[in-house]
Structure 1
Amino acid sequence: MRLNEIVFTDAKPVEGYGPGFFRIGGQVVHGPVTAGPDGTKTWGGYEDVEALLGFAGQVDVLFLGTGAEIGHIPDALRDALEEVGIGVETMASPAACRTYNVLLSEGRRIALALIPV
């Protein structure tokens, strides 16, 4: 029997990050970024709720990286995401990158939103 890896999304792993940037799937993105089933895109930060709501129906969990340290996200953002069925896990951006990569490799329905370190 031959088994082939099947990929159902355009999601790419996080390969690196540094002050003000992320490298995801070979692409360097400066500033806040999202990564998920539709690929990698720049993000407007916590006020850009619509970009994150676009993951509704595609993902079960959004890992939200708050920068170098863990921080709180606005209650309105969390409420809006949970209302459309997206669970939110908030953590420091480095931890969010690592967690996203592990679960992405398992084929989970996840997305990532990151504030730079």
Structure 2
Amino acid sequence: MRLTEISYGTAQPIEGYGSGFFRVGGHVLRGPALVTPWDAGPWGGLEDVGAPLALMGKIDVLFVGMGKDVAHAPKAFRQALEDVGIGVEVMNSPAACRTYNVLLSEGRRIAAALIPV
């Protein structure tokens, strides 16, 4: 089996996560985080739709990591993003981190809004 090293170019993958944190670009983010190919920082959680909405025109899909388990995102949160053309994919946070990294390596226009496990 031939393995190929993954290249992210200048984008920053999610390097790790654990109880209450995410590690991106060598920095530890405690609590909910919003991660894009060009930046990563704290996020206000599901009540904060403004930060993901500010990505309009820059991303096509937002992965929403709901923590340890899969849960539904609030309808108003999902609807606000879909109304401006941002697709919303909800999953648990570990799956959201993995999916984000795979699509990031493909150069896709994505972001992840993550609640810690």
Q: TM-score, normalised by structure 1?
A: 0.90
- Mapped partners of 1:65, 1:32: distance in 2: 9
* 2:40 alignment counterpart: 40
Q: 2:65, 2:114 within 8 Å by CA — same for their partners in 1? A: yes
The number of residue pairs the alignment matches comes to 111
CA RMSD of aligned residues (A): 1.5
Identity %: 62
Whether 1:84 aligns to 2:80 is no
1:23 aligned partner: 23
Paired with 2:87 and 2:66, the residues of 1 have a C-alpha distance of 16
Q: Quickly say closer, same or farther: Cα 1:6–1:35, change in 2 above 3 A.
A: closer
Q: CA 1:54–1:38 in 2, change beyond 3 Å: closer, same or farther?
A: farther
User: Match for residue 59 of structure 1?
Assistant: 59
Post-superposition, which runs of at least 4 consecutive aligned residues in structure 1 deviate over 2 A? none
Q: CA deviation at 1:108?
A: 0.3
Residue matched to 1:106: 106
Describe the shift of the 1:63–1:6 C-alpha distance in structure 2 as closer, same or farther (beyond 3 A): closer
Please give the alpha-carbon distance, in whole angstroms, between the structure 2 residues aligned to 1:42 and 1:55: 15
Q: What TM-score, normalized to structure 2?
A: 0.90
Structure 1 residue 6: deviation in Å? 9.1
